[in-house]
Amino acid sequence: MRLTLFAFAALGLASPALGQVLPSPPLNSALSLSQEFMLRQQQEATRQQLIQQQNQLMTLEAQMRTQQALSEVRAQAQSPVLPLPDVTAGRPLPQIDTSQLASIPDAALADSNRKVLEAAGGRR
């Protein structure tokens, strides 16, 4: 995938130079007007083909970025599957270290509740 992205970037940087029309060589007696016309048509067809290729590359790059963004969104939307504790008979249940859990003293909760009720003016 990185190689593909690198190839798109390399072609994207090189495409402006490839899309330029080369100046026609000076007319000499051997080159007739019809041959010059055919040469100019070929150059124009080549230029149009290069423009189409560049547009296709840009479209593919945009599609690739869209697919990456969609896959990232899908990955973020999935919640991880947590393993269930083994509750086989005779085995001890897992112990939870409650010292690492957040705790608020009862006095602080009561004080906060009192302040909220005062601010509400008795409305509940």
Instruction: State pTM to two decimals.
Output: 0.40
- How far is the first Cα of the chain from the last one, in angstroms, to the nearest whole number? 60
In a domain, 8, yes or no: yes
In-domain check, residue 113: no
Six-digit token pair at 103?
Answer: 């705790």
Domain range for 16: 2-22+32-76
Instruction: Establish if 6 belongs to a structural domain.
Output: yes
The count of structural domains within the chain is 1
Within a domain: 114: no
State pLDDT tens for residues 5-63.
Answer: 666 666 666 655 556 666 665 555 556 888 889 999 999 999 999 999 999 999 999 99
* 38 part of a folded domain: yes
Half-sphere exposure of 67 (CA within 13 A, CB side): 7
How many of the other CB atoms lie within 10 Å of CB of 53?
14
What pLDDT digit, counting tens, does each position of 59-76 carry? 999 999 999 999 999 988
Task: Determine, yes or no, domain membership for 62.
Answer: yes
> Exposed, middle or buried: residue 94 (CB in 10 Å: 0-12, 13-18, 19+)?
exposed
